[in-house]
Amino acid sequence: MILSLIAVVLSVAFVSGTLVFANTATSTFDKLFASTASDLSVQRPTDEDAGGPPSGAKARTVPVATAAQLAGLPGVRSALGQVLTQTSALIDPVANKEIGPTQGAPTITANWTDSPRNSVDITSGHVPQGAGDLVLDADTAKKAHLGLGSAIRIINETGSHDFTIAGIATFRTTNPGAALAFLDTPTAQSTLLGQSAYTSVELFGDGSRTDEQLKSDALAALGNDFQAKTAAEQKADGAKGVGSFLDFMKYVMLGFAGISLLVGGFLIINTFSMLVAQRTREIGLLRALGGSRRQVNRSVLIEALILGLLGSTLGLAAGLGLAVLLIQLMKLAGMNLDASSLEITWTVPVASYLVGILITVLAAWIPARRASRISPMAALRDHGTPAEASANRIRTVVGLVLTGLGAAGLVVAGLADKAAEGGLPLGAGVVLTLVGFVVLGPLLSTGVVRVLGAALPALFGPSGKLAQRNAMRNPRRTGATAAALMIGLAVVTGASVVTNSMVTSVNAQIDRSVGADYIVTAHGILTPAMADAARGTSGLKALVEERAMPVTFTTPDGRQTESQLLAVTPNFAEAFRMPVASGRAEDVFTGGISVDENFAKGHHLKAGDQVTVDYGQGRTQSLPVGAVTELGNSFFDKQFFTSVDTVTKVVPTAELPSTQVMFGTAAAGADKARTLADLQRALEAYPQVKVQDQAGLKDLVQSQVNQLLYMVYGLLGLAIAVAVLGVINTLALSVVERTREIGLLRAIGLSRRQLRRMIRLESVVIAVFGALLGCGLGLAWGVTARRVLADQGLDVLTVPTGTIVSILVASAVIGLLAALVPAFRAGRMNVLAAIATD
């Protein structure tokens, strides 16, 4: 019962910890947005409704005179001009190292204003008072080991600018992980914008008018070329930005918690099934004395209710510890949350108790029902219940039908031409095959265990023969125990197939499509100075720049599509081999545009058809389709390419977004390794820049996929741990159940060593049986998923043989370790006492 309790505790802890973590993160950001938002923020319109501007987009500015104009509106107490950008990098010039977050949270550079709702307070030094002063937030200063008087550099599109830290600012609320640097207003305008302007004007009212009235007045005074957002709208925008990420994390973790709960359900079913079997005589006597079926059923369910109630209570408490652990892990990823102010809403205990009690009572219902059907005459038997042949036949038929339907779903998914068409059959196939294998577990265990254990008698003598027969004697129990392990390992195997295929496919696409020898990226943007430094590298033949622009496409069918257009320098063909299905790649970079096959089919486009491109601010352009690119290449799928020269015919060069990535090609006969080293040296003044060759790009893809895979492994670790508890529990209870049998075996000469070996071998057979089922299912899922995603770029199937072999070996080790305590207890039994057990 203790092991079953632990399973409930772990599963509930995962649910409650996830909810507390998500609530705490959401609350932290809500408090930050609510405490810092102005009553009204006035700025130029942006493309936020279309998914936000791409990285590197130029900030749209507001004239300085606008602040004075808005300050004169009725109900306005103050109107502060704000300069704020997220495209600068903060550098420690002494260590030549980038400071601040390199992923997740942004690096924000802004002007210092005495706002009524400042997010920070100066806790050391003073506000920026001149062109050389900079105020840095305390968290970033601490991580970078910087203090008052330290040198710091800002690198952005206007150049490199050196400052001295004049003040340290501390957040009033929790810092969510961003790095903040403040300059005085004139310096911020020249350094961050290159002109005397603001990025927004923040209004604070005197209380005489509502935020909506202020908004109406401001827009009436300024016209349609501006947008205004109330405090509530600013808070909603901020929450939307982080909400999607937090929701994704929450639902993924709750999904894995569901897997753990399912695995825990098998453990509880086994526990109560074995408890009922042990109490057969006791239940029969109770029935003989007048106990009704309802009373027996109720007694088992109440026992499960108590277990669920206690497990949920302990799990709720353990979940708080898990939430703190998650918060600490997120700090490593750059999101700084306060673990001392956990947000525990009413939904957390309700969900915890509902999940814990419901799963326990439902899992115990089948054994309870079985217990209530024990007749009073069962008291006259030694133990056990009559075989339910008809129930087994029904179970077999149901299992075969479910598995057959699931297999059909996987086949249909594999035959689908598009991922959108194969997604639903794949999901149905996964669920049905999983349920089918669970239902068929007892039937499969008899045959598979007989094969798995065939060599045991020859290798281990009587111990091996007894272990094989013990694993086969109760197929239902063996099937349920193995099913718990099967679920976790099936997901691990399936995920491994998909991720390994992803890496192999991307590497193949790099070999096919990327002609560039070097890839230059940066945390933030690539500035013109960086491009100039790179071009001066000896041995470099060509350097291709890529910029992303938010646009709206209007196709001849009259439909509009919001997306982004990748504007590249005309020598793009030096860096990439465009997979053209129709048209010509040259036409794309001489006044045309490329679209992928899906977009072309969906809008009935062919080479030569005109597409209208709207860049915003009334700037539109009609471009012919120069080429339709083939599907199955992640570099070109869902991407639209054109030339920078084409875009600058309607968009001024000064307003183009900054370069996001550069691709370099070595000159013929040049030493590529030496050119790489020279290119890295040419850009060493910019520590935020990363230069890689194709091998480095492949390693980066591998590391990113591995991060995803390790997360899956970590989250499934809980399910596998619960499954191991199930193996231990089954063996421990089976030892108690077979006490008299063990005593008799010892009496006729079975040694303690042979007894312990018998139990260990039984455990290994059950664990390997579960692993085989899991690997088989996972392979079927992974292979089908790869086939479904073939049109998304996963065109190469890679089966991770090493991972599968490791899983099977690890399962045998798990089985061996799980049997240690039950085998030790069995070996210590007193022979006479065991024989005398009733």
**Phi-psi bin for 675: left (phi > 0), alpha (psi -120 to 50), beta?**
alpha
Mean pLDDT within 808-830 = 84
Average pLDDT over residues 630-659: 87
pLDDT for residue 384: 46
Dist CA 687 CA 700 (whole Å): 18
Angstrom distances, CA of residue 726 to CA of 3, 157, 678, 738, 796: 8, 60, 59, 18, 37
Answer yes or no: are the C-beta atoms of 445 and 769 closer than 8 Å: yes
Token reading at 122: 């100066």
Q: The whole model's pTM is what? A: 0.76
247-281 pLDDT, tens digit each: 777 777 777 777 777 777 777 777 777 777 667 77
Task: Report the pLDDT averaged over residues 586-597.
Answer: 90
Tokens at 614, concatenated: 């709207």
pLDDT per residue over 337-382, tens digit each? 766 778 888 888 998 898 888 888 887 887 777 777 777 776 555 4
Q: Indicate the DSSP class of residue 595.
A: E
The pLDDT tens digits for 709-753 are: 777 777 777 777 777 777 777 777 777 777 788 888 888 888 888
Q: Is the model's pLDDT at 27 over the cut of 70?
A: yes
Position with higher pLDDT, 269 vs 756:
756
* Cα end-to-end span (Å), the chain: 21
Q: What is the mean pLDDT of residues 694-703?
A: 81
What does the buried/exposed string (b/e) look like for 151-180 if buried means 16 or more CB atoms within 10 Å of the residue's CB?
Answer: ebbbbbbbeebebebbbbbebebbbbbbbb
Cβ-contact 383, 350 below 8 angstroms? no
% the chain with pLDDT above 70: 94
Determine the residue type at 471.
Answer: A
Distance (Å, whole) CA 335 – CA 101: 9
Gap between the Cα atoms of 5 and 315, Å rounded: 9
**Residue type (1 letter), 562:** E
Look at the alpha carbons of 191, 192, 197, 202 in this order and tell me if their dihedral is positive or negative: negative
Burial class (CB in 10 A: 0-12, 13-18, 19+), 98: buried
At residue 265, the pLDDT reads 76
* 300-324 pLDDT per residue, tens: 888 889 988 998 999 899 888 888 8
808 or 59: which carries more pLDDT confidence?
808
> Mean pLDDT across the chain, nearest whole number?
84
Instruction: Give bridge partners of residue 85 from the DSSP assignment.
Output: 109
- CA–CA separation, 750 and 759 (whole Å): 13
Tokens linked to 235: 């808070």
State residue 387's pLDDT score: 46
Length of the chain in terms of residues written: 838
% the chain with pLDDT above 90: 20
pLDDT of residue 386: 46
- How distant, in Å, are the alpha carbons of 276, 474, 482, 775 from that of 815? 25, 18, 11, 16
Q: How confident is the model at residue 395 (pLDDT cuts 50, 70, 90)?
A: confident
- Lowest mean pLDDT of 33-37, 84-88, 150-154, name the range: 33-37
What is residue 56's predicted lDDT score, i.e. its pLDDT?
Answer: 58
Can you list the positions of beta strands (E) in 93-215? 97-99, 107-111, 120-125, 133-137, 151-156, 159-171, 179-183, 197-198, 200-205
Residue identified by tokens 């421990």 is 732
DSSP string covering 489-508:
HHHHHHHHHHHHHHHHHHHH
> How far, in Å, CA of 24 to CA of 38, rounded?
24
Chain segment 529-569, per-residue pLDDT in tens? 998 899 888 888 888 889 988 899 999 988 999 888 999 98
Instruction: Give DSSP secondary structure letters for 358-409.
Output: HHHHHHHHHHHHHHHT--GGGGGSSS-----HHHHHHHHHHHHHHHHHHHHH
Provide the pLDDT for residue 51: 38
Question: Looking at the predicted structure, is the pLDDT value of residue 57 above 70?
Answer: no
CA distance 180 to 242: 18
Average pLDDT over residues 456-471: 84
Angle, helices 820-827 vs 752-788, to 10°: value is 160
Alpha carbons 329 and 790: distance in angstroms, whole number: 34
How many Å apart are CA 298 and CA 339, to the nearest integer? 43
Name the β-bridge partners of 570: none
Q: What is d(CA 810, CA 768) in angstroms, rounded to the nearest whole number?
A: 9
